[in-house]
Amino acid sequence: MSETTDKKPAKPVVLTCAQPTGRLHLGNYLGAVLNWGRMQDDHECYFGIVDQHAITVPTVPAQLRENTYSCLAQYVACGLDPARSRLFVQSHVLGHTELAWVLGCLCPLGQLERMTQFKDKSRKQQSVDAGLLFYPVLMAADILLYNADLVPVGDDQKQHLELARDLAEKFNHRYSETFKLPAPFISKVGSRIMSLQDPTAKMSKSDPNQAGTVYVTDRPDEIRKKVMSSVTDSGAEVRAADDKPGIRNLLTIMAGCTGRDVAVLEAEFAGKGYGDFKKAVADAVVATLDPVRLRYDELIKDREELARILKAGAESAQATAFRTLSKVHRKVGFVERPR
Ligand code: AMP
């Protein structure tokens, strides 16, 4: 019989962690954050801004601090609701690194050295710090600390989630049943958004051609300019065909912004030219992102409000984290902390 000291949550627990790396783009919004927002009613959501992960590669301290506030303000502006979810900064919650240590003591070095992301990232650096190698163990701790059922992950993080499951199983086997095995969450809705300048490449903040990337904080004139100058395909038909990756991408974007089906949009624009269509796409993106930008502009100036959100999120996450940690410490044989 498995031991449970936590009350079974009524809703499945979802954990999402994102590094405070700067601005969110339309791909992040339509492909990820919008869906996270939709999960808040029927899931117990933890949204962590993982600053401890961020320092596994060289960072500028002042920039990391600003990016952390900015990331929080963008998430709230995009619909992550501090009243319904726990929005927190990783370094504010004691337990992430402590649990990572315990899990690290169950993790073969070779398994970490074989991680694809470690190999990729370390190849790009002259010298590699232990933190980069240990990154997936910290991620496992992020997940297991809250006993998450579901973790929305992109392709690049699937291997890390596998490690979290391995470590959970190992801990359960060595000590006794403690952790649930977290499952990847692949959303049924949510789309892959491509660059407006190269519809064969994913929209990305690291794209050297920034005209292809729409940010959630872009002003309406910037959005219109980027959409109107997007690369389209030969022909004149508005159809989501394989030989029309540019138009297909714009249809996906418009469908994501309006909640309407691509087929319905194709019918609506039958016989109309690319110009009219692009204008409608630009209107739809502006209508979606304008409220996000306005809310972001308010929030980013209101440090007191951001601090309040972080305090509430950290306190709530901390309560769960302490429960897990004290259970783990007891199981591994640490003497109970004097109160
Ligand atoms: P990243 O910015 O790569 O850390 O990704 C953060 C989240 O946004 C992940 O869930 C990604 O899968 C998602 N994402 C990033 N770029 C895109 C894109 N172009 N289209 C759809 N989803 C994306």
Q: How much is the pLDDT for 83?
A: 96
| Mean local confidence (pLDDT), 312-316 | 98
Q: What is the pLDDT of residues 147-159, one digit of tens each?
A: 999 999 877 788 9
Q: What is the mean pLDDT of residues 280-286?
A: 98
Residue 125's pLDDT band (boundaries 50, 70, 90)?
Answer: confident
**Tokens at residue 258, please?**
């309006």
What's the confidence (pLDDT) of residue 77? 98
Position 275 scores a pLDDT of 94
Q: What is the 3-state secondary structure (H, E, C) of the chain?
A: CCCCCCCCCCCCEEEEEECCCCCCEHHHHHHHHHHHHHCCCCCEEEEEECHHHHCCCCCCHHHHHHHHHHHHHHHHHCCCCCCCCEEEEHHHCCCHHHHHHHHHCCCCHHHHHCCHHHHHHHHCCCCCCHHHHHHHHHHHHHHHHCCCCEEECCHHHHHHHHHHHHHHHHHHHHCCCCCCCCEEECCCCCCCCECCCCCCCECCCCCCCHHHCCECCCCHHHHHHHHHCCCCCCCCCCCCCCCCHHHHHHHHHHHHHHCCCHHHHHHHCCCCCHHHHHHHHHHHHHHHHHHHHHHHHHHHHCHHHHHHHHHHHHHHHHHHHHHHHHHHHHHHCCCCCCC
| CA angle, residues 309, 314, 319, in degrees to nearest 5 | 135
Q: How confident is the model at residue 127 (pLDDT cuts 50, 70, 90)?
A: confident
On the question of pLDDT at 182 being above 60, the answer is yes
Q: Which atom of ligand 1 is nearest to the CA of 153?
A: 10
Cα 147 from Cα 183, distance rounded (Å): 11
Nearest protein Cα to ligand 1, atom 22:
31
Q: Note the pLDDT of residue 1.
A: 40
Least confident range of 1-5, 239-243, 250-254, 297-301:
1-5
Q: What percent of the chain has pLDDT over 90?
A: 84
The CA distances from residue 113 to 56, 130, 134, in Å, are 15, 11, 9
Q: What is the mean pLDDT of residues 251-280?
A: 95
264 burial via Cβ count (<10 Å: 0-12, 13-18, 19+) = exposed
The whole-model pTM stands at 0.92
Write down the pLDDT at residue 176.
98
pLDDT of amino acid 2: 44
* Residue of 121, 170, 327, 331 marked catalytic: 121
Q: Is the pLDDT of residue 137 over 80?
A: yes
Q: How far is CA 318 from the centre of its chain?
A: 20
What integer is the mean pLDDT of 265-289? 96
Active-site position among 124, 170, 180, 202: 202
Between CA 333 and CA 328 the distance in angstroms is: 9
CA distance 3 to 103: 19
316 CA distance to ligand 1 centroid (A)?
27
Annotated active-site residue 202? The verdict is yes
Q: How much is the pLDDT for 155?
A: 74
Checking if the pLDDT of 242 tops 50, the result is yes
Which ligand 1 atom is the nearest neighbour of the CA of 195? 19
| Tens digits of residue pLDDT in 191-217 | 789 999 999 999 999 899 999 999 999
pLDDT of residue 136: 97
Q: What is the mean pLDDT of the chain?
A: 93
Residues whose beta carbon lies within 6 Å of some atom of ligand 1: 27-28, 31-32, 154, 192-193, 202-203
Q: What was the pLDDT predicted at 304? A: 97
pLDDT at 188: 62
First to last CA, the chain: 30
Mean pLDDT of 19-23: 91
Q: Do the Cβ atoms of 261 and 243 come closer than 8 Å?
A: no
User: pLDDT at residue 9 above 80?
Assistant: no
